[in-house]
Chain A
Amino acid sequence: MESYSRRWFLGAGATTLVSAAGLTACGSGSGSGGSGGTITAFVYGDDAVKVQAKAVSRFNASAAAKKAEGKVKLEKVPGSDYPAKLRTAMGSPNAPDVFFNWGGGSIKAYKEAGQLVDLTDTIKSDPVLKDGFLPSVLAAGALGGRNYGIPMRGMQPVILFYNKTLFAEHKLQPPTTWDHLLDINAKLKKANITPFALGGADIWPELMWLEYLVDRIGGPEVFDKIKNGDSSGWGDPAVLKAAETVKQLIDDGAFGKGFSSVAYTNGGAPAVFAKGKAAMHLMGSWEYSTQLGKFPDFAKKDLGWCAFPKYEGGAGDIRNVVGNPTNYWSVNARTSNKDAALAFLRDCASESYARDLVANGDIPTTSNAAKLLDASPNPGFAKFQYQMVQQAPAFTLSWDQAVDPSSSTPMLTEINKLFVGKSTPARFVAALKELK
């Protein structure tokens, strides 16, 4: 164990040294905006990354790259470590020039540290970018009315997926109301099928349940208040009611017994769902590309989808959506080749980029998307999702991305405690009200 602890300390020490060196580099102000040289792009390394990989090779071979005298090197960072690795890199001299993010709270700290290129004027003066994307999606990634990101992936609403074949076998219809859902749960359990797959080890899949329940019970205004920094908003009766509803589901065995040992990121929860051990899965729309990558037969034959059901007597519209509007590329203010970075970003508005996204099962947030959806591997799903977002009266950004990172971790911890039974709905609400 000794050798291990030593190694651990060395690692920590090296990180500290690197960070310290980063500080110095910051202070002396390294040159920015110069031309020439390869730029690095950090991207979240999941199954959808092949679209970005293709875009990079297309860009590197293009005339735009030659003109900017730069090439892009794509670094795929494994999923669950992405935010921490990005933060460490951004504090060091080896920061990426362009990086993937979720907009909103996820880039607030970088903006406050002056590390982001303000893209507002670039977008305004460039018709390709200005008219290339749905304005609402561009706006959703903005901070204080200024744009810092270019949409680069599909829209990601959270959808209730279900196994069509299993539902047909047991003569079930996808749920439209909460009581209907409880009725389906009872029938599935009788047939020895877990109603819902849930990757509880990752915690954020648990978060999705609360996001939707709070929306359906209390309407989108409840979280809006919290997002704007008023933690008394957690005291809204809808939050307590949502927590109690979750507790009932768990006690009822709706997620099976072992959900807190199952992760989404390592493929556990998608496998439970694809192999028919669970009949439904509340997940972001990327579930489709994940299943297409890991269990193509299941994705093509059995995968069905519907909106999260309505809660009787609740204030929320069934058309309301929660999730991530999309992901964004942001540019580091210290980049060595800003021209190349901006030229690379313009490719995201191109039709070939949108086509690649569609081919991967994603719905681009570009304005040219609607006419491309027929080419999607599953046009039905593509159109369902596109309309869902287009018609949504409210699109609530995922809570963990919307709030400040410093209160996001304790919030997720409290949610996990609620799910594993280490807390009660009342204590859950009390703990959240304590968050700054």
Chain B
Amino acid sequence: MSTAVTPGNGRRAGRPGKGVRAGRPHASWALPAVLFFTFFAVVPMALAFYLSFTKWNGLGDPQPAGLANWKKLLDDDRLTQSLTVTVLLTVVSWAFQTVVSLLLGVWAAGRQRNRAVLSAVFFVPFLLSSTAISLLFYALLDPNFGIIHRDTLGSTSGAFLAIVFVGGWQFIPFHTLIYQGGARQIPEVLYQAAAIDGAGRYRQFFSITLPQLRNTATTSGVLMIVGSLTYFETVLILTQGGPGTDTAILPYLMYEAGFKSYDFGYASAIASFLVVAATALSLLLVRLTGFGAMRSTREGM
């Protein structure tokens, strides 16, 4: 729902009024997308928000319950734990995925044939379904018949790191692609000028490549963070929120309330909370990073 916000911000900081209409397609072009978004995102969200004020076990009609679910949400110790785990997972995943995909992306931006071939190979994990990937790693992590003969998923840090790793394994290729594209956009002249000034390979990376990739890093960062908030299949298949409740992130808590305890009212309250939190977080990120303003990286050229 971050995506719904970005255009609004863009317009506010947009260019002068004149000529704005010129060359823009008619508003009706957006109709299919708007309808799709309404029926498959806005309506379900509204329904979930409505359900959060009811008591419903999935059968019969929901009964109004006032603020009971929201009060329960505030009192629930598991929500606090879940929020902590979710934030931790988001931050660690972001750090892990950004570092690896930045380096891989910059490397893959080179035009050599071997890099092109390897980039194509690296991209394969992103094409697999996350369920298939999770099942695969679940089998690999079996303490008796897997590759690591230890209780990886039974310890808190092991289970947490396994989720970070499996998520990274799947999504790093995607972010590598973004960074590859970003790195290829950097004008060659900058490197040529730096070479004349005597800058070496590392100096060029830190003084040219990194600053030039600022907007790319923001895009990829927002995608990673919002994605981590709704991360689910991997947790469901690898750990089921365990050991105990140590990896029960918010979406998993919601699933458990809805599809295990059949308390759809409470599950909807968690879902509504998640929507609000994710929207607020992506707004904040967009503000902080100046992504909305989209200042050019070629200023002064």
- Across the interface, name the chain B residue whose C-beta is closest to A80: B240
A19 B61 Cβ-Cβ under 8 A: no
**Cα–Cα distance between A242 and B266 once the two chains are bound (Å):** 33
* B58 vs chain A, min Cβ distance (A): 5
- Across the interface, name the chain B residue whose C-beta is closest to A115: B59
Asked if B57 is at the interface of the complex by the 8 Å CB criterion, the answer is: yes
Asked if A63 is at the interface of the complex by the 8 Å CB criterion, the answer is: no
**Cα–Cα distance between A90 and B60 once the two chains are bound (Å):** 10
Interface size of B by Cβ–Cβ distance < 8 Å?
53
**Cα–Cα distance between A370 and B61 once the two chains are bound (Å):** 46
* B272 vs chain A, min Cβ distance (A): 12
* A272 vs chain B, min Cβ distance (A): 5
B143 A201 Cβ-Cβ under 8 A: no
Contact status of A268 and B226, CB under 8 A, knowing A109-B262, A201-B153, A417-B245: no
Asked if A416 is at the interface of the complex by the 8 Å CB criterion, the answer is: yes
**Cα–Cα distance between A415 and B120 once the two chains are bound (Å):** 46
Residues of chain A within 8 A of B256, CB atoms compared: 409
Number of CB contacts from chain A to chain B under 8 A: 148
**Cα–Cα distance between A83 and B58 once the two chains are bound (Å):** 12
A261 B143 Cβ-Cβ under 8 A: yes
B59 A17 Cβ-Cβ under 8 A: no
Asked if A266 is at the interface of the complex by the 8 Å CB criterion, the answer is: yes
A422 B246 Cβ-Cβ under 8 A: yes
Residues of chain B within 8 A of A30, CB atoms compared: none
Contact status of A90 and B59, CB under 8 A, knowing A2-B223, A422-B244: yes
B230 A258 Cβ-Cβ under 8 A: no
Asked if A10 is at the interface of the complex by the 8 Å CB criterion, the answer is: yes
Interface size of A by Cβ–Cβ distance < 8 Å?
56
B154 A420 Cβ-Cβ under 8 A: yes
Residues of chain B within 8 A of A406, CB atoms compared: 261-263
A8 B40 Cβ-Cβ under 8 A: no
**Cα–Cα distance between A26 and B61 once the two chains are bound (Å):** 9
B144 A272 Cβ-Cβ under 8 A: yes
- Interface of chain A, main secondary structure: helix
B261 A416 Cβ-Cβ under 8 A: no
**Cα–Cα distance between A405 and B142 once the two chains are bound (Å):** 29
Asked if A387 is at the interface of the complex by the 8 Å CB criterion, the answer is: no
A9 B226 Cβ-Cβ under 8 A: no
B60 A26 Cβ-Cβ under 8 A: yes
Asked if A234 is at the interface of the complex by the 8 Å CB criterion, the answer is: no
* A260 vs chain B, min Cβ distance (A): 3
Q: List 29 A-B contacts (CB under 8 A).
A: A1-B171, A2-B3, A4-B227, A8-B232, A12-B44, A13-B45, A17-B47, A23-B61, A26-B60, A87-B259, A110-B59, A112-B59, A114-B60, A257-B143, A257-B150, A258-B144, A260-B153, A261-B143, A261-B153, A262-B142, A262-B143, A268-B144, A272-B144, A406-B261, A416-B242, A416-B243, A417-B244, A420-B244, A423-B244
The 8 closest A-B pairs by CB, nearest first: A1-B227, A258-B143, A13-B44, A260-B154, A422-B244, A113-B59, A420-B243, A417-B244
Known A-B contacts: A2-B226, A91-B58. Give 5 more (CB < 8 A).
Answer: A4-B230, A9-B40, A88-B58, A409-B256, A420-B154
